[in-house]
Amino acid sequence: MTSTLTIFRREFASYFATPVAYVFLVIFLVMQGLFTFYVGQFYSREQADLVAFFTYQPWLYLFLMPAVAMRLWAEERKSGTLELLLTLPVPLGSIVAGKYLAAVAFAAVALFFTVPIWVTVNWLGSPDNGVILTGYIGSLLMAAAYLAIGAALSATTKNQVVAFILAVSVCFLFLVSGLPMVLDLFSGWAPDGITLAVANMSFLLHFNNLQKGMVSFADIFYFVAVIAFWLWVNRVVVESKREAG
């Protein structure tokens, strides 16, 4: 645990060592505000809720979360510090966990700064705050899943741009797998079980349930399972790089 916290502090502090983190936070907050109040037509709907806020988040995260994760391992490999990091008397699992948790913490900070939007909605009306809270929990779980994928793919390359593109591509597949246009490709020839499995892979399906206030163990377990799987992949990839020398 001590080793994980040490890596976590190092990685989390590195996010704020350059202006990039602050630019990211500003872009994230501006985009969330635009999607909530303007693109989502908050005022014309005359309904106090954060439906638009959460509706566009999966698509916003599709690009922003891979941008946060792309540097986690790719930068270490490019700068040549990965070999030094792996020679430290720290378990590989602690390094993987520490780096990943720092990225999740950074995403949590960004999400926390959107609380004024929640406060504004309460000032304008009387929303169901229980539903909004559930939506925030689902949002953080979804962001964590994006980051787990991004971290694993960042470990496969020295190029941050390549890591970003790979993460966006894989996350996009997880995002759209439950859409009707995708399921139609399977329904014509694949057994119902396969079509259902493809549908259940979708981030949208599980996140939509949570943002509507429907707390289900299955939806929470899905995100936890995705995170655990990709962190395992992350560890396997880094281990292979270490063995390769």
How much of the chain exceeds pLDDT 70, in percent? 97
pLDDT of residue 114: 93
pLDDT bin (cut points 50, 70, 90) of residue 109 is very high
Give the Cα separation of 100 and 28 in Å (integer).
20
The 10s digit of each residue's pLDDT in 70-108 is 988 888 888 777 777 777 778 888 889 999 999 999 999
Residue 95 backbone dihedrals phi, psi, to 5 degrees: -65, -50
With contact defined as beta carbons under 8 Å apart, do 110 and 13 qualify? no
User: How large is the average pLDDT for residues 10-25?
Assistant: 87
Closest C-alpha among 212, 73, 204 to residue 149: 73
User: How large is the average pLDDT for residues 158-176?
Assistant: 93
pLDDT of residue 243: 65
Number of domains in the chain: 1
The answer on pLDDT for 245 being more than 60 is no
In whole angstroms, how far apart are CA 206 and each of 2, 85, 180, 224?
Answer: 34, 36, 15, 12
pTM of the entire predicted model: 0.91
The 10s digit of each residue's pLDDT in 208-229 is 888 888 888 889 999 999 999 9
**Domain containing 172: what range?**
2-244
Closest C-alpha among 56, 8, 21 to residue 35: 56
Closest C-alpha among 163, 115, 164 to residue 136: 115
